[in-house]
Amino acid sequence: MNLPNALTASRLAAIPVLMVLLLADFPRHDLIAAGVFLAASLTDTLDGNLARRRRQVTELGKFLDPLADKLFILSVLIVLVQLGALAAWIVVIIFGRELLITVLRSLSASQGRVISATPFGKTKTVSQVLAVLLLILQRPYPSLHFAASLVVGFAVAFTVLSGLDYLWRFRHILQRADGRHPQEPLAVPGGGAPGAESPVNPLVRRIGEKLAARQLTVAVAESCTGGLLAAALTDQPGSSAYFQGGVVAYSNLAKKAVLRVPEELLETHGAVSAEVARAMAEGVRRLLLADLGLSVTGIAGPDADGSDKPVGLTHIWLAGEGPGEGRGFRFDGDRWENRRRAVDEALNLILAHLPA
C-alpha cells in the first residue's frame, strides 16, 4: 500500500463520512461535507500524478482508482437525490454513462488496448465535481441555487457528450469481434502462447509481400518500443525470408557499443533526436547486413526520465542505399499507446518507400 494507493483508498473511506455529514443535522454540517468532498476530490488528481512521478503504478492502483472515482461521485449523488436536491434521472444518466464506458474499457483491455482519458472525459469529471459541490453548498446558501442548476445542466450535457465521444473514438472495438476496424493497423504482438495465433497487422502483410518480391531484407533498431516493432514484423509467417533481426538498444551504452552511435551525437542532440535515429538505423543495417535499417527512438512516458524533451516525442528513421528519411512525431497517448503508434508510424514509413 504505497502513498498513491492510500490516497485512492481515502476516497473510498470518505464515502460513509460524507453520507453521515449530508444526512446529519447539526450546525455547519453542509459546509463540513463540502470541505470533505472537495479534499477527497483533489486526491483523484494527486494519486495519479504521484504514481507516475514515483513510478508506483500498481495493479491494485489500476483497480482501485476507477472504482473509487465512480463510487465516490455516485454515492454522493444518490444521497442528494434522497435529500431532494437532485432529480433521479440525472443520476441514471451519469451511472449509465459510467457503466457503458467501463464495459468499453473492459472490451478494449481484453484486446490488448488501453483507452486513455479524453479531453471531453476530463471536462466531464471537473463539471461533475463542481456541480456536486454547488448542490451541497446551495442548502446553507440558497442564493447558489441558480448557479448549481446551471452547472448541473452543463455536467449532464458533458456527461452525454463525453460518452458519445468515447463511443465514436473507439467504435472499432465494437465493430468487430476482435476489436479491430478493417482499416486500422494493429501493432500488438501475440504473446507467444503455445498454439495461439497472433493477429497480423495489415501493414506488415503488405510490407512482407513487397520485401519478399524484391528480395530485400530489413533490420530494426528499437529504443522506446522495446521490441514491439520486431514482434509486429515477425507476426507474419515466412518473415524470415526478409527480416534479418533486431536490436533493442534501450540505453545510451547499448546504442554506442552495439549500434556504433557516435557519442557526440548523444551528447549534442540527445538519444531522442533525428540524428540519433539515423545513426541507429544505419548502425543496425551494417550490423545485420540488411538492405534496409529501420529505427525508433522516443520518450514513451509517463515521464521524461530526466530529459527536457516532451513525453511522446518520437523519431523514426529508414536507412538504405540513399540518404534515407526520418519522421518526427509528438504522440499524446499513455505509455502503451505512444509505443503502439510509434510502431504503426515506423511501418508506414517503410511501406511508403517500397515501390508499388
90-131: pLDDT as tens digits: 999 999 988 888 887 777 665 555 566 666 777 888 888 999
> 318 near 353, Cβ under 8 Å?
yes
- Give the range among 48-52, 155-159, 254-258, 295-299 with minimum mean pLDDT: 48-52
What pLDDT does residue 63 have?
A: 74
234: exposed, middle or buried (Cβ count in 10 Å: 0-12, 13-18, 19+)? buried
Per residue in 313-353, pLDDT tens? 999 999 998 888 999 999 888 888 889 999 999 999 999 88
- Give the range among 35-44, 238-247, 302-311, 341-350 with minimum mean pLDDT: 302-311
Residue 232 to residue 226: CA distance in whole angstroms: 12
What pLDDT does residue 113 have?
A: 55
Strands 243-248 and 325-330: unpaired
The residue that leads in pLDDT, 323 or 247, is 247
Residue 220 to residue 226: CA distance in whole angstroms: 11
**CATH 1.20.120.1760 boundaries in the chain:** 3-175
What pLDDT does residue 99 have?
A: 86
CA 190 to chain centre: 20
What pLDDT does residue 117 have?
A: 62
What pLDDT does residue 232 have?
A: 93
End-to-end distance of the chain based on CA atoms, in angstroms? 56
The residue that leads in pLDDT, 332 or 225, is 225
CA-CA-CA-CA dihedral for 168, 171, 174, 175, to nearest 10: 130
* Confidence at 249, pLDDT banded by 50, 70, 90: very high
User: Is the pTM of the predicted complex or chain greater than 0.95?
Assistant: no
What pLDDT does residue 57 have?
A: 66
Spell out the CATH class of 3-175. mainly alpha
What pLDDT does residue 174 have?
A: 66
**CATH 3.90.950.20 boundaries in the chain:** 202-352
Which candidate, 106, 243, 232, 97, places its Cα nearest to that of 157? 97
The single-letter DSSP state of residue 95 is: H
Average pLDDT along the chain: 85
The residue that leads in pLDDT, 65 or 22, is 22
Residue 48 to residue 269: CA distance in whole angstroms: 31
The single-letter DSSP state of residue 240 is: G
The residue that leads in pLDDT, 304 or 270, is 270
- Give the range among 193-207, 269-283, 291-305 with minimum mean pLDDT: 193-207
Architecture of domain 202-352: Alpha-Beta Complex (3.90)
DSSP string, 127-180: HHHHHHHHHHHTTT-GGGHHHHHHHHHHHHHHHHHHHHHHHHHTTHHHHSTTS-
